[in-house]
Amino acid sequence: MTMGALRILGAIVVSAACALPAAAATDPDCDPGTIISFDAPGADTNPADGNGTLVAGINDFGVVAGEIVDSNDVYHAFLRFPDGKFTVFDAPGAGSSPGSYSGTIPNGINDLGEVTGFYIDTTGTPHGFIRGAGGHVTSFDPPNSISTFPVAINLAGDVVGYYADSGSQFHAFLRKAGGKLLSFDGPGVCTGGTSVGCYGSAAFNINIFGTVAASFGDGTANQLHHVFIRGADGKVQLVNAPGAGDGYGQGTGCPGCWLGINTAGAIAGIYTDANGVYHTFLRTPEGSYLNIDAAAAGTASGQGTGCASDCDVSLNDHNEITGNYIDAGGNYHGFLRESSGKVLSVDPTGSTATFPAAINGRGAITGTYLDSSNVYHGFLRLPSRW
């Protein structure tokens, strides 16, 4: 806790930087917002354990979903409500053996309070789940799945994600609210599974109209990454950002990198240029592209606005975007791209690495940060207009 911090509703309110580096001139238009740091009940906060509170999403009512890692190295799901109260839950069938890193891991939440994610059972196998607003949990797996990873749920209750088959090949899936499951892949997807560096296809987001944002690795020698849009009618449209490189492992999108989509069908994600530098892009529904780079992002290979894998990019209906950037020292920071186009840094005080997960329709950002004791904490950034 920083000196002078105030405790409100069981959380710690800390300062938020408007811009980095510190040498930048003071920006009178900057919205500093308010960052609330929190630890969910039962989270392991022992120094050096590498556990704690990990955040996945937020809905427009300010309900945050995520998971804790307890002192037994077991995952449990939580919901944090705007008044600071928590609900902790476990999916039936989730493992709980000490040291197993099994348990329940949410990934997405909608405005009805429905949550999707996966649980790891006693054999170490991940299965998908949906938790209804009333608390009932339904588990599911696409046919032929040996590992299921739901990522997002829309207001209609449709879920998207990805799964691995017996050949360790990943496929995107869509589970309709009624339970019907569809599997699909990007055009020209690689084959052979992870043993040959092929991560296949994955769906990362879906809007209320059933438009899905997904990505895949192709079957060329350079195993390029591509983003694609799958319409509700099943038609597929490729999304390749201008400036994306065509060297090995470059392109648009990255393995495990979540994509943002909004009601209008705009898409936000990451691309890697020919120099190995990461950038974030916004593709408008009309097909135009905007490039987004944080001012303090590094410009060498392995740096930039984004990352190589497992970064989240989130987009709301105001075209506000949150995600990561990596500075010249290799440090991870969060950013907010305002609807005006201004890009601000988002770092809780005490953070050594910041990982925003989602932004809601009111501009609230949630995510996770790591402190100097190697403990993860959740954070919530509320804009001044909140």
Q: What is the pLDDT of residue 197?
A: 87
Q: How would residue 28 be classed by pLDDT, with cut points 50, 70 and 90?
A: very low
The encoded tokens of residue 94 equal: 């989730």
Q: CA 222, CA 239: separation in Å to the nearest integer? A: 18
Q: To the nearest whole number, what is the mean pLDDT of the chain?
A: 92
Does the structure show a pLDDT above 70 at 30?
Answer: no
If one counts every other C-beta atom within 10 angstroms of the C-beta of residue 343, the result is 20
Q: Which is nearest to 75 in space by CA: 95, 92, 57?
A: 95
For the entire predicted model, the pTM comes to: 0.92
Q: What is the pLDDT of residue 32?
A: 66
Rounded average pLDDT over 41-55: 96
Q: What is the pLDDT of residue 27?
A: 45
Tell me phi and psi for residue 5, to 5 degrees. Answer: -65, 150
Rounded average pLDDT over 223-250: 96
Q: Which is nearest to 173 in space by CA: 209, 198, 201, 147?
A: 201
Q: Strands, DSSP E only, in 110-243?
A: 115-120, 126-131, 137-140, 147-153, 159-164, 170-175, 181-184, 201-206, 212-217, 225-230, 236-239
CATH of region 6-382: 2.120.10.30
CA distances from 337 to 34, 201, 227, 264, 266 (A): 16, 28, 21, 18, 14
Q: What is the DSSP code string of 214-257?
A: EEEEBSSTT--EEEEEE-TTS-EEEE--TT---STT-EES-TT-
